[in-house]
Chain A
Amino acid sequence: MSALLKISGLRAAYGQIEALKGVDLTVGAGEIVALIGANGAGKSTLLMTICGRPRAAAGTIVFDGRDITNLQTFAIVRFGISQAPEGRRIFPRMTVLENLQIGATTAAPERFDRDRARVFELFPILGERRHQRGGTLSGGEQQMLAIGRALMSQPRLLLLDEPSLGLAPLVAKQIFGVIRAINAEEKITVLLVEQNAHHALRMAHRAYVLQTGSIVLSGTGAELLANEEVRAAYIEGGARGAA
């Protein structure tokens, strides 16, 4: 499988705080890759650094054969990477529809109607709420909108940061179903950050474990799911706080 995203020796810092200390990670075209790790491990930082915020201090990020390490954030979307970031970051004073329109900023205008219809098909509740302001949506609806908005740019790689955070099990299940569906049906590659390691590892083709800024383990989803340390730290022990 050819690498769609290839990250090598990536470092990133916030001032003096080093958040990524030389990360190597590959995402193959068509894969779902999960990234798990404790709070503060640097998962969100990794996704944001792919998009240029913060900028990489060292290392390279190659997407589809092109070095995007030093591109401006807004330009990176044009290459086909979009993100539903940590905290969802819905535009609160814009309607659902306007949020989707912003998501489609870099997309071909004539595709808008079709893409919007697709998002409403994946998340019917968004269709019903299309004229409601983003800030008044429920947490689950906001998460759906964040994913739907990211899909509007017709990405080849979708970065998802804890899409199930704070959602009722049923809604989380629906979100995971959608992630599987867009991966299988639309061939969108997914890099998924999840606290819900059990779910994430079950649906991921491959996975990485990030610990204080470094990758400490990687393998297929099934391998990591069977790994004693992973089970202890992120699945059974997860509720008691990860190591």
Chain B
Amino acid sequence: MGYFLQQLVNGLTLGAIYALIAIGYTMVYGIVGMINFAHGEIFMIGAFISLIFFVVLGVLGVTWLPLALLLVLLLAMALTAVYGWAVERIAYRPLRGSFRLAPLISAIGMSIFLQNYVLLVQGAHEKTLPPMITGGFELMQSGGFMVSVSWLQLIIVGVTLLLMVVFTAVIQLTPLGRAQRATEQDMTMAALLGIDVDRTISLTFVIGAALAAVAGLMVTLQYGVIDFFIGFLAGVKAFTAAVLGGIGSLPGAVLGGLLIGLIEALWSGYCPSEYKDVAVYAVLILVLMFRPTGLLGRPEVEKV
């Protein structure tokens, strides 16, 4: 029982990170109907930027942890957002209105480019960061097993849920969110009513990238090891999470992310962990068989 709970805690942490990346996939898919395959790489870049700024702040002597964390968070979000913006501007916008596969191919190209770019400037070696946020508390003692939750895990899950609530509110209640939904439903009509569609799409990429940067920072803090290739697998998992939850749905992305984290952790806890990805995709296939639009995806029932 204790062991099970511990895996649950670990799974939720991992799942929260997937969820943050999945939000970016789902928002971009929602608005332009394309899978931004370079999004995993944006997350990887966010992780590198975080790590670099930790080192820089260390050199500059900013040692008070809360300040350092806040600075790295803001800087990583801002800089990664620039990457997200640039990817859309360079690789997708010129292809808007082209055939459907064009931006997809361009996205794969972008993804390969960004990987190699980081490989070139940072090298192939793993980069490590010593643990910065240590400690935690013991949740309970059960069956001779101590279930512990680290402060960091708490922060990761808390920040993810907070960001989900904030961005769901942004999309439901603000003019920007309305513009996003209008653009998603009918781009031409949105433009006819005065919405700057290009700007709205850019902002969506910027938000997605900023959230991926948060995920990058979390991974750097939680696991302490990153390299130029981490974007690939995380991207695939987060994309799976977005599909599982119902692509286009923001709460769906978070639910999907958390579920995949849980499946991975629980499977690894009891079964050969090499097969954990098989478990993830088996669940995905099962869900899609019974709910083709994903767990929280919307069935289309309007007359248009």
Contact = CB atoms under 8 A, between A and B. Distances in A.
Do A and B come together as binding partners?
yes
A77 B192 contact: yes
Interface extent on B, as a size class?
20 to 34
Contact of A94 (B182, B188, B194, B298): B182
B264 to A, nearest CB: 33
A85 B192 CA distance: 9
Contacts of B181: 91, 93-94, 98
Interface in B176-214: 178-179, 181-182, 185-186, 188-197
Nearest to B199: A74
B192 A91 contact: no
A134 B303 CA distance: 9
Contacts of B196: 72, 74
A105 B194 contact: yes
Given A94-B182, A101-B178, A135-B303, A85 B189 contact: yes
A195 B196 CA distance: 32
A134 B189 CA distance: 14
Nearest to B303: A135
A228 B39 CA distance: 64
Given A53-B191, A91-B186, A102 B304 contact: no
Interface string A69-94: 00011110110001101000111111
The residue among B188, B190, B191 with the most chain A CB atoms within 10 A of its own CB is: B191
A55 to B, nearest CB: 12
B185 A82 contact: no
Contacts of B188: 53, 73, 89
A73 B189 CA distance: 10
A72 B194 CA distance: 10
A135 B303 CA distance: 6
B302 interface: yes
Contacts of A82: 192-193
A136 B301 CA distance: 9
B302 A135 contact: yes
Interface of B: 175, 178-179, 181-182, 185-186, 188-197, 298, 302-304
Query: Top 7 nearest A-B pairs by Cβ distance?
Result: A135-B302, A77-B194, A106-B194, A73-B191, A92-B302, A105-B194, A89-B189
Interface of A: 51, 53, 72-75, 77-78, 82-83, 85, 89-94, 98, 101-103, 105-106, 133-136, 149-150, 153
